[in-house]
Structure 1
C-alpha cells in the first residue's frame, strides 16, 4: 500500500446534525466521496475515520474500511483535522502497512472531477502538499476588511492603497475538496499543529471550479440551505 484516501466524518455536527449521511442524489452524502476514491486507480485503499456507528456502517457498506471508531478526544467540535488523519495513518503503520501518500477528501464537498485529483496527484510529485482552491470573489489587499477591537475596520492585508483588483496579489479560497499529502509532511504538520497551506514551503495549489467550493458561496453541505443548493447542483450534473 502506498497511496490511501482518508475521509474524516464526525457524527456530532451542531449546525446540521447527521450531515455526513444525509441523502444527496439518492445516496448518503459520504458515499459520494467514498465512490470517487474507490474509482481512482492510484488509490490503493479508502479509509473513513469516524466516531459514529451509523456513519461507520454506511461507509463500510459503500466499500470503505473503518478500522475503529475514533476516540472521543479526537471527535470534539474544536478538534483539528490533521491530528485525526495522523492518528489513522499511524494506526495503519503500527500494523505494518506502508503509507507514502494520503489523499484526504472532505465529505461535505462531494462534487469533484477526476481531472482535479489527477492534477493534485501530479503536483504531489514535487510538493509536500497539493490542494484544490478557487479564485476568490474578495481579495484581502483590495476589498476584504477586518474588524478591529475598537469596532473600526481596516483592509485585511497591505497598506490599503491598492485601488484596482488587477494590482493586488492573486488570492485563492481553499475549497477543502482534495488534499494530497506526502507522508512525512503530514506527520510534520500534525506534530506542530500548523496550518499546512500557509507554512509548508513546497505546497502547491490546483485551481478547481467554483462549484466544488467549501465556502459559503459554493456548494458544500454544512448547512441545510447549502445542502439544498448542492442537491440542485447534483441533479443538474446528472441530467446533462
Structure 2
C-alpha cells in the first residue's frame, strides 16, 4: 500500500502580510483552509504542520492535524529554503510514525482557493504516469515569446525568449504557465535527492486562474477574500 503524507509549512514571520498564516479569512484562520482541504481529499495517512510558532501549531491541531513539527529556527528565516523545511518535516514524521513514506504532498498555506480535487488531480498525475514529481500552475497571462520582456544590454527591452520565426499572435506562442505554489507532489527519493523542485521528468497539473492566487500582498488577500465570499454565496 502506498504511504502518502501531507506537509504544511507555516512559519511565524511574514513580510508582505503580517501574521498571514493565522489571519482571519472569512471567519477562520488562513491555515484552516489548507488543513481542511488535506483532510477532505482523503489521500493521507498523516498530515503534518511544520512551524516555529506554537500558536500556529495549536490552531492547526484544533482543525485536525495529527502531527505537529517544531521547526528549527535556522529553517524559519527569510532566507531559509522551503525544500529543507519540507525535508525536515518528512524526517520528523517518519521518526514519530516509525515508517517511511512513499509520496510527499506539500500544500502552501497561502493558496486557500484550491479544492480537494486539485490535490487529488496532482497526486493522480504522479501516480498514473509514474514520474518523480508534479507542480501546479495556471495558464500564464504573459508569454515570454510574445509580451513578457526583460532588460538587456544598455537597458534595451527584449523578449525573454525568442524563436527563429517571430510570433505574430499570442495564441500561437508555446503554452506557458504561472507556477501557483499550491500543490507540490514528490516521490520521497526525488524530494531528498534533487536540489530544486525540477528534475528530469517534472510535470504540471493545470489549475484554473480563479483557484491559483497565492497570497503575498494585502491586495492578494483582499482578492482571495472576495473570491471566498463569492464561492460561499455571501
TM-score normalised per structure 1: 0.89
- Once the two structures are superposed, residues 170-211 of structure 1 have per-residue CA deviations (whole angstroms, 9 ceiling, x without a partner) of 10111111111111111112xxx32x23xx122121111111
Range 109-118 or range 137-146, more displaced: 109-118
Q: Specify the SS of the correspondent of 2:203.
A: strand
Please say if residues 128 and 181 of structure 1, whose CA atoms lie closer than 8 Å, have aligned partners that are also in contact: yes
Identify which of 186, 189, 202 aligns with 1:184: 189
2:115 matched to which residue of 1? 113
Task: Provide Cα deviations, 1:33-81, integer angstroms capped at 9, x if missing partner.
Answer: 0011012222111111111121111111111144332111101112121
* 2:202 aligned residue: 203
Could you say what the CA RMSD is over the residues aligned between the two structures, in angstroms? 1.8
2:81 corresponding residue in structure 1: 80
**Structure 1 Cα separation of the partners of residues 29 and 35 of structure 2:** 10
The Cα shift of 1:166 comes to 3.0
Q: Which consecutive unaligned segments of at least 5 residues does structure 2 have?
A: none
> TM-score, normalising length from structure 2?
0.91
Q: 1:42: which partner in 2?
A: 43
Q: CA offset at residue 103 of structure 1? A: 1.2
Name 2:55's counterpart in structure 1: 54
Question: 1:220-235 to 2 correspondence within 5 Å?
Answer: 220-235=214-229
8 A contact 1:56–1:66 mirrored in 2: no
Residue by residue over 1:142-170, the C-alpha shift from the partner in whole angstroms, topping out at 9 and shown as x without a partner, is 11111236322211112583222233211
Kindly indicate whether the alpha-carbon contact (under 8 Å) linking 1:9 and 1:55 is maintained by their aligned counterparts in 2.
Answer: yes
Gaps of 5+ in 1: 214-218
User: CA separation in 2, counterparts of 1:73 and 1:65?
Assistant: 24
Counterpart-to-counterpart distance in 2, 1:230 and 1:29: 11
Residue correspondence of structure 1 range 116-127 to structure 2 within 5 A? 116-125=118-127, 126-127=130-131
1:151 aligns with 2:155: yes
* Number of residue pairs aligned between Structure 1 and Structure 2: 229
SS of the residue 1:46 aligns to: strand
Correspondent of 2:232 among 230, 234, 238: 238
Separation of aligned partners in 2, 1:76 and 1:149:
35
Task: Measure, in 2, the Cα distance between the counterparts of 1:75 and 1:66.
Answer: 18
Look up the SS of the partner of 2:106 in the other structure. Answer: strand
